[in-house]
Structure 1
Amino acid sequence: MRLWLLTVIMAVILAGCGGSGGTTATDSGSNPKPDETGTDPGTKTEEAVTLKMFTAYADRANGPGKIEQEIIDAYMQENPNVKIEVEALQDEPYKAKIKVYASTNQLPDIIQAWGQPSFLSPLLDNDMLLELNPDDFSGSNFVAGSVDGFSKDGKMYGIPRNTDYAVLYYNKKIFDDNGLKVPATVAELLDVVKQLRAKNINPVAINGMEGWTLPIMFDYYAQRASGDFTLMDKAFNGEISFTDPTLIQGASDMLAFADAKGFADGWLTADYGTARNLFGQGQAAMFFMGNWEASLATDENFSEDFRQNVGAISFPASDKGSQTDIAAWYGGGYAISKNTKHADAAIAFMKYFFAPDNWPKKVWQSGAGTPAQKFDQYLTGEETELQEQLIDIFTNMTSSAGTPLQDISSDEFKQKSMEIHQQLLSGKITPEQFAKELDAAASKANAK
């Protein structure tokens, strides 16, 4: 897949403060100055406005959802004429309900959006999103390439919020107590799985019921078999087949992991929250998920013992793929409904949200994730060990996967590809059948 993320790795971490013309508040307050947010008292109206905002950050008390809510609350306090009503659901229920809103042409004013064709294309094809002016966000210091997934035909329709990449979280205490070595290769990972199972310990928690993490794991196994992240795009586009020997090998290696009971018991019926809690409560040794789970180290829903012992590694290597080859992409963000009656108010809030001292600073310093904006000026030296490990994984990246397989086309292809992965990993089809079914799904998607 695309290697675009390589060009921005050092821009995110090492770029000087003189980025793209943005300014940063220097007063002692936690919020930007009015001229940095688009909410200058001299220009804002006092007309009462209610904005409806729909987000997939369901947990409003922890992690990025807490930061999102804090920024919303601060904005309403500074702008008492504006009321922001929040509806929040987890990812998959969110995506189901956004289809309902879209089918009745009643999108909320501000919606969470993913800069990926499977989510954005149906909304753009039906002319449901407001075109945005990039100049409105020129001071937000977005890293190069981060807006691309939210653009079409040179026009901008959304704003990126996160830089995402998939890692393997692990419980250091479980590893130490059982004399286990943290796996550096896929062979070592398989060996660790077998040792954990021999001790009746769940190896890897994953949200198998929802399915979207499974193609991301396949990205890793396919790259480790081939040394090349671009094969997935080539197979989808018909340049090669998913029956390519290296892709079959990747599928076989992933199936071997599943056959060894590498996934936690009940993985196929586990949603995101179930998998996260299984790991956070010490009932699984590892958790395959994205870097946005940096807040595992600070989430008070879990024990202090767990928070002090959670670590992260990049996915284990092979003789062809390095641990510096990372499944990384720009993920969630926001878009504004074209039918909103309060476009100016929605844009003003988005400018405020992405002001340098708001989202990028707060989400990083809270350990809740990695923004799609430059944040080097907000490194405090007091980052959690987990944050340091995650940023080390990111800064050492030498190649990246780009948009995950399930998200590069239509929603129909997404659902079918996830289902095919579930069938493979539950033993219902062979790697060869898996590859042929992916070929058929890709061919159907490309024919439309």
Structure 2
Amino acid sequence: MKKWLVMLLSIVFLSLTLIACSDDSSSTEGNTTAEENTEEPANTSNENEGAEEEEAEAEPVTLSFFTALPDRESGMGGVEQAIIDAYVAENPHVKIEVEALQDEPFKDKIKIYSSTNDLPDIIQAWGQSSFIAPLIDNGLLHELDPADFEDKGFIEGSFGGFSKDGKVYGVPKNTDFLPLFINKRMFEENGLEPPTTEEELIAVSKEFNDLGINPVVTNGMDGWILPMWFDYALQRETGSFDLMDEALAGEASYTDQAVIDAATKMKKMVDEGVFAEGFLTADYGTARNLFGQEQAAMYLMGAWEMGLATDENFPESFREDVGVIPYPVSDNAEAGDLVIYQGGGYSIAENSENKEEAVKFLQYFFQPENWAKQAWQSGAGMPAQNFDQFLTGDESDLQKEMVDIFNSVTSASGTPVLDDSTPEFKETIMSLHQQLYTDEITPEEFAEQLEAAAAKAREASE
């Protein structure tokens, strides 16, 4: 198991212990919204005597900030905006212009910015080869000094995905895994139990369909969720996450019968109505809103959606009843076998004229009392920094359930295969999944074309 994951598990285990031992008298703090989190930001800008005079003399700076978190009032986007607002309030000479798009439009816009060598000063980045490697290889990202962030409580090894050849090009903000969110009330009112196995998932989805309720929703149109689901499907066939990585490296083959069997199983799930009708035309926002507005019983999405329990855009009845379970298992797998990986973070553009201020902002952003504290206490996500000191004892049930799942991990996928190769391989594997579920190709053709794409990616990387 990767070193960063071992370190994170030890932190989460401690967190679980502290949560279990806490009661209402242990803290006067409860869950806070992103807006409330602006009350006492960590002050790193004016701590030296005479700083106010220096501030008055500082030259005006405008930082451009590009993020894939378009909701600026709740969840991770709300926390991100709260910290930005606090920094600007403490540094009047700084203006931060935020551009925010959903994941796929964001990635398309990054390609446009990259083609003209005109990246914004600070961009959201993913520490995964398909995203960050082309930016590094083309000299578009600024090399960071790890010493600037060594006192921020980062989990050991968490910078790995943002590094190449011993150099660091980004700062991680969270760790993610892929569970299955559920609406507990929908299950209880209809006398149904949350699924623990793949067969139970198919059966309970049929029950919901018969009741006129959408079973599972997800963002099939965006494409990236489908190969992540496949990581689970194949692991449930073989009992290991290794085959996907080995085939990508040329040490095994995607034409292995287990791959064909997993693709056949996934096609069966789609055909038998596990996913809501039209899920391949649903983008991220559509799928999230269907679930949050109580139009679906389950939601296949990453742990970064922990903020669902506190998102006031959704009914209180939903926020009280949203829960989470591990992705269903098979005879070959355990609930603790998780698709888990390092999440997103931030990078600075090499062509930025404001690198010094951009670094100062990221140092401020990652003061533990800022991102780590606010992300956890608002229920927005699981930071890539130590956060046990910020437990309140008033964590939401969803947070506690998420920690329970994480603490049960028995094996981990690491970076999903679609993100561990070239951008072209990523586009191909996403397209192949969509073609499989629309009967354009068979499971056998899916495996053959995936193997060909992997071979092409290896050649391109040599």
TM-score normalised to structure 1 length: 0.94
User: Once structures 1 and 2 are overlaid, which stretch shifts more, 29-38 or 241-250?
Assistant: 29-38
Q: How many residues align?
A: 436
CA distance in structure 2 between the partners assigned to 1:65 and 1:194 by the alignment: 35
Instruction: From the superposition, tell whether residues 188 and 101 of structure 1 become closer, same or farther in structure 2 (CA, over 3 Å).
Output: same
Map 1:63-78 onto structure 2 (within 5 A): 63-78=75-90
What's the CA shift for 1:428? 2.2
Among residues 38, 44, 63, which one is paired with 1:34 in the alignment? 44
Q: Report the AA paired with residue 403 of structure 1.
A: T
Among residues 254, 264, 270, which one is paired with 2:282 in the alignment? 270
Instruction: From the superposition, tell whether residues 126 and 40 of structure 1 become closer, same or farther in structure 2 (CA, over 3 Å).
Output: farther
CA distance in structure 1 between the partners assigned to 2:47 and 2:326 by the alignment: 36
Map 1:254-269 onto structure 2 (within 5 A): 254-269=266-281
Q: Report the AA paired with residue 32 of structure 1.
A: A
What's the CA shift for 1:29? 6.4
Alignment partner, residue 151 of structure 1: 163
CA distance in structure 2 between the partners assigned to 1:59 and 1:401 by the alignment: 29
Q: Is the 8 A contact 2:71 2:77 kept in 1?
A: yes
Q: Secondary structure at the match of 2:421?
A: coil
Alignment partner, residue 9 of structure 1: 8
1:402 has 2:401 as partner: no
Among residues 82, 91, 107, which one is paired with 1:79 in the alignment? 91
Q: Deviations over 1:77-134 (max 9, x none)?
A: 0010111111000100000001101101100000000001111111111101100000
Q: Report the AA paired with residue 217 of structure 2.
A: A
Map 1:133-148 onto structure 2 (within 5 A): 133-148=145-160
Instruction: From the superposition, tell whether residues 33 and 412 of structure 1 become closer, same or farther in structure 2 (CA, over 3 Å).
Output: same
Among residues 424, 427, 438, which one is paired with 1:412 in the alignment? 424
CA distance in structure 1 between the partners assigned to 2:414 and 2:172 by the alignment: 15
Alignment partner, residue 23 of structure 2: none
Q: Report the AA paired with residue 117 of structure 2.
A: N
What's the CA shift for 1:425? 2.1
Instruction: From the superposition, tell whether residues 421 and 4 of structure 1 become closer, same or farther in structure 2 (CA, over 3 Å).
Output: farther
1:346 has 2:350 as partner: no
Q: Deviations over 1:381-421 (max 9, x none)?
A: 10110111111111111211111111111111111110001
Alignment partner, residue 22 of structure 1: none
What's the CA shift for 1:15? 6.3
Among residues 179, 191, 201, which one is paired with 2:191 in the alignment? 179
Percent identity, aligned pairs only, is: 53
Among residues 357, 365, 376, which one is paired with 2:369 in the alignment? 357
Instruction: From the superposition, tell whether residues 281 and 15 of structure 1 become closer, same or farther in structure 2 (CA, over 3 Å).
Output: closer
Instruction: From the superposition, tell whether residues 82 and 223 of structure 1 become closer, same or farther in structure 2 (CA, over 3 Å).
Output: same
Alignment partner, residue 19 of structure 1: none
1:161 has 2:173 as partner: yes
Among residues 80, 101, 116, which one is paired with 1:89 in the alignment? 101
CA distance in structure 2 between the partners assigned to 1:120 and 1:227 by the alignment: 30
Alignment partner, residue 388 of structure 1: 400
Alignment partner, residue 30 of structure 2: none
Instruction: From the superposition, tell whether residues 347 and 223 of structure 1 become closer, same or farther in structure 2 (CA, over 3 Å).
Output: same
CA distance in structure 2 between the partners assigned to 1:331 and 1:183 by the alignment: 27
Q: Report the AA paired with residue 356 of structure 1.
A: P
Q: Deviations over 1:116-156 (max 9, x none)?
A: 11111111111011000000000111112210000000000
Q: Deviations over 1:242-274 (max 9, x none)?
A: 121222222222121111111112111100000
What's the CA shift for 1:331? 1.4
Q: Deviations over 1:24-49 (max 9, x none)?
A: xxxx9622242799999387661111
Q: Report the AA paired with residue 259 of structure 1.
A: D
Q: Secondary structure at the match of 2:179?
A: strand
CA RMSD for the aligned pairs? 1.9
CA distance in structure 1 between the partners assigned to 2:146 and 2:45 by the alignment: 17
Q: Deviations over 1:178-198 (max 9, x none)?
A: 111111111111111121122
Q: Is the 8 A contact 2:3 2:156 kept in 1?
A: no
1:110 has 2:109 as partner: no
Runs of 4+ in 1 over 4 A off after TM superposition: 2-5, 35-40, 42-45
Q: Secondary structure at the match of 1:140?
A: coil
Q: Is the 8 A contact 2:13 2:407 kept in 1?
A: no
Q: Report the AA paired with residue 424 of structure 1.
A: L
Q: Is the 8 A contact 1:140 1:355 kept in 2?
A: yes
1:125 has 2:137 as partner: yes
Q: Secondary structure at the match of 1:252?
A: helix
Q: Is the 8 A contact 1:92 1:210 kept in 2?
A: yes
Among residues 312, 315, 319, which one is paired with 1:303 in the alignment? 315
Instruction: From the superposition, tell whether residues 353 and 38 of structure 1 become closer, same or farther in structure 2 (CA, over 3 Å).
Output: farther
What's the CA shift for 1:426? 2.4
Q: Is the 8 A contact 2:45 2:91 kept in 1?
A: no
